[in-house]
Amino acid sequence: MSAKKVNDPDNRHIDERKFLIELHKKSGGKPCFWKHEYGTSSDECIAIPKGEYDTHACHYRANGIKRAESEPEVYNTRRIPGTGEARSDNREVAMKLGFIVMDTARRKYTFSRETHEYTTLAEDIAARKNKSEAGKGTRFLDAYRGRYGKSLGWLAKDRHAWDVKHRMTLDPQDFKQVYGATKNNALTDYDDAFRELATPIVDKAQLAPINFHIPQSDNPAMQGLGKWFPYEHDHHHMIPASAFQEFVLNGPSTDPSIMNYMSRARIVMQGTWNIHNPDNMILLPNEVYPGRILDLAAHIPWQMGADHKPYSRELESALEPVLKLIDAGLKQTPETPHDAEETAAADFSQAMKRICDKQRAKFLKKGFFVLEPR
Ligand SMILES: [Zn+2]
Ligand SMILES: [Zn+2]
């Protein structure tokens, strides 16, 4: 099993799992360091139930949206790449970079089919995918270009099409061919979901689902199309769960009988730091073209996988101080173990918030780069 799987509580020994779930339930979800599925919790797993999608402390997608909506400047008016100036809107930058062009015959803005991201680069990736599995690259290219055309096409029509909190006004024609893609890189059509979530307004116009919102919302008015709309995106953990488990809970120990995965987890679960809280979340585009336009990191582009190990590995040294802090609490004199653990938990929670904030500042300063798979 990979380090990621071994370190996840859901894959650990049943007694350990039960112990951690007990701690999670007792603390009311305040501290947490692992991901949960949707459904009903049991004594063997924590799950996020229907009716708590918008409020559950561990629902990282909902928290990612909250975080993004609390800082619209990051997504709507971020600096123009290569300058220190704020943009007036995302279309302005898309045109500057050549992703949106004027169709002079039809006298309207449209997406460009001549960019590196649409032509050679996408074709190279498709060729590589075809080599690894017959047909995969061809499927990929179809779905990718579908998304590219849709996302940029909307932005060509509406300069605020990519803004957080925005809802586009669209014609039913625009509802056709709303593309996503399956894990298998094949094209998926979201026509029906789109139609279901849109609100009719005057004439034929429809108010599109709210940008970036997810189908799992409790409130129908807040439901959205999730991952694919208005551009393909992910909610990235600044400190990923796998890195935290590997480098903190299972980090090197000078005395494994006292300082080990479970005793460290016990400290973490006495604190207030939740790995899914908005401090640790950042909404990022997946593909390179919105990354360049928005001047933000592209999160594992080209449907290359679900993990970014090089990024996670880099966090080992950033997380070393919290490992030391927890272990120092565990090493305290046996007369006051409880106080020592509580103090360590409080210090740990504060230190984690600082690390998240620092990591976010680094991301935003850096602007566009690629979070690579493998
Ligand atoms: Zn949790
Ligand atoms: Zn990520």
Domain limits, the chain: 3-71+231-371, 86-228
Q: Which ligand is nearest to the CA of 64?
A: 2
- Assembly ipTM: 0.99
Averaged over 333-351, what is the pLDDT? 86
Distance 237 CA to ligand 2 centre (A): 5
Distance 35 CA to ligand 2 centre (A): 13
* Structure-model confidence comparison of residues 29 and 257, the more confident one: 257
Return the percentage of the chain with pLDDT > 70, whole number: 98
Q: Which tens digit of pLDDT belongs to each residue from 343-370?
A: 999 999 999 999 999 999 999 999 999 9
For residue 184, give Cα distances in angstroms to 75, 133, 257. 29, 10, 45
Place of tokens 């566009």: 368
Distance 234 CA to ligand 1 centre (A): 19
Separation of alpha carbons 67 and 75, rounded Å: 11
Res 239: pLDDT: 97
Distance 306 CA to ligand 2 centre (A): 8
DSSP state of 116: T
Distance 323 CA to ligand 1 centre (A): 20
Separation of alpha carbons 33 and 10, rounded Å: 11
Averaged over 303-324, what is the pLDDT? 92
Distance 253 CA to ligand 1 centre (A): 25
Query: What are the DSSP calls for 345-360, one per residue?
Result: HHHHHHHHHHHHHHHH
For residue 311, give Cα distances in angstroms to 241, 251, 308, 358. 12, 17, 6, 15
Separation of alpha carbons 143 and 164, rounded Å: 24
Band (pLDDT 50/70/90 cuts) for residue 198 is confident
CA-nearest of 289, 309, 270, 242 to 93 is: 289
Q: Which tens digit of pLDDT belongs to each residue from 259-274?
A: 999 999 999 999 999 9
Q: Tell me the sheet residues that pair with 103.
A: 108
Q: Which tens digit of pLDDT belongs to each residue from 42-95?
A: 988 999 999 999 999 999 999 999 999 999 999 999 999 989 899 999 999 999
Q: Which ligand is nearest to the CA of 21?
A: 1
**2, pLDDT greater than 80:** no
Res 1: pLDDT: 53
